Amino acid sequence: MKLIICENYEEMSRTAARIAAETLLRKPDALLSFAGGETPLGFVHRFADMVNSGQIDPSRAYYVSLDEWAGLSREDEGSCGLFNQKELLGRMRIPFLQAHVINGAADIEEECRSLDGFIAAHGPLTLSVLGIGMNGHLGFNEEGVRFDLNAHVIPLSETTKRVMPKYFGEKFHPEYGISQGIRQIMAAETVLLLASGEHKANILREAVRGDVTNQVPASILQTHPSCVVVADKAAAAML
Ligand code: PGA
């Protein structure tokens, strides 16, 4: 694992956007996947800015979303689909050649099959940009997840259920998540793991310095041949 420690959230976001831009410049037909959530918000905005200023051209590239709350549609407040549309895809003046965004309100088994199909057709992922959950999850690969799965539906952990009101208040109470599997994430040429804030310091230390275990799913990234952790000082404080 390579570690880049940034002064603050803004620098973390810019650093990640620069790496994503370099990926696209090197491989114009890349398959990119970016996590939703608080952590990657600045990053996806910077990425869209770089598209809009003509520094990068996504018109030959593919995009696939990482995960979704089962039951939430791409229009629902707090959904990953809405995040993708509003914060990334809808901001880009030049669209990706194709973008596949999970619909959590559709038949979720069918959504898994179509996610697998899209990644198989255009993949493997060139770049996967991830956040880390308070329990060390990647996407919705929760504690105890099997590392050999592709897209799947998984019960949300108690930690994730505790954290989720920050996205949509008490409006929804999903029990399951749909997620790219660890197998697909590990097959990515490069993985960026973003972490920001002191509340992530402990779990980031476990993921980066602890044992590789499915009890801390992000720890599997220690075995990825090209994983870059981009963390701000607060999140990196315990490394
Ligand atoms: P956050 O989510 O960026 O909103 O903290 C991270 C995650 O759960 O993967």
Residue 136 alpha carbon to ligand 1 centre in Å: 10
Q: Which atom of ligand 1 is nearest to the CA of 167?
A: 4
Pocket test residue of 156, 163, 179, 230 for ligand 1, highest count of atoms within 8 A of CB: 163
For residue 127, give the 3-state DSSP assignment. strand
Residue 122 alpha carbon to ligand 1 centre in Å: 26
Closest residue by Cα to atom 2, ligand 1, is 37
- 111 backbone φψ class: left, alpha, beta (φ>0; ψ -120 to 50): alpha
Where do the H-state alpha helices sit in the chain?
A: 9-26, 41-52, 80-83, 108-122, 158-163, 165-168, 182-186, 201-209
Which residues have a catalytic role annotated? 67, 135, 137, 142
Taking the C-alpha atoms of residue 172 and residue 191, their distance in angstroms, rounded to an integer, is 30
Do 220 and 183 touch, CB atoms closer than 8 A? no
Q: Which atom of ligand 1 is nearest to the CA of 36?
A: 3
Closest residue by Cα to atom 7, ligand 1, is 133
pLDDT at 43: 99
Report pTM: 0.98
Taking the C-alpha atoms of residue 239 and residue 236, their distance in angstroms, rounded to an integer, is 5
Residue 178 Cα to chain centre, angstroms:
13
Place of tokens 């960026």: 192
- 110 backbone φψ class: left, alpha, beta (φ>0; ψ -120 to 50): alpha
Taking the C-alpha atoms of residue 52 and residue 47, their distance in angstroms, rounded to an integer, is 9
Token pair for 47: 């990425």
Closest residue by Cα to atom 3, ligand 1, is 39
Q: Which atom of ligand 1 is nearest to the CA of 197?
A: 5
Tens of pLDDT along the chain (239 residues)?
A: 999 999 999 999 999 999 999 999 999 999 999 999 999 999 999 999 999 999 999 999 999 999 999 999 999 999 999 999 999 999 999 999 999 999 999 999 999 999 999 999 999 999 999 999 999 999 999 999 999 999 999 999 999 999 999 999 999 999 999 999 999 999 999 999 999 999 999 999 999 999 999 999 999 999 999 999 999 999 999 99
- Which residues, judged by CB distance below 6 Å to any ligand atom, belong to the binding site of ligand 1? 35, 37-39, 131-133, 137
Q: Which atom of ligand 1 is nearest to the CA of 37?
A: 4
**Chain length of the chain:** 239
Taking the C-alpha atoms of residue 137 and residue 12, their distance in angstroms, rounded to an integer, is 20
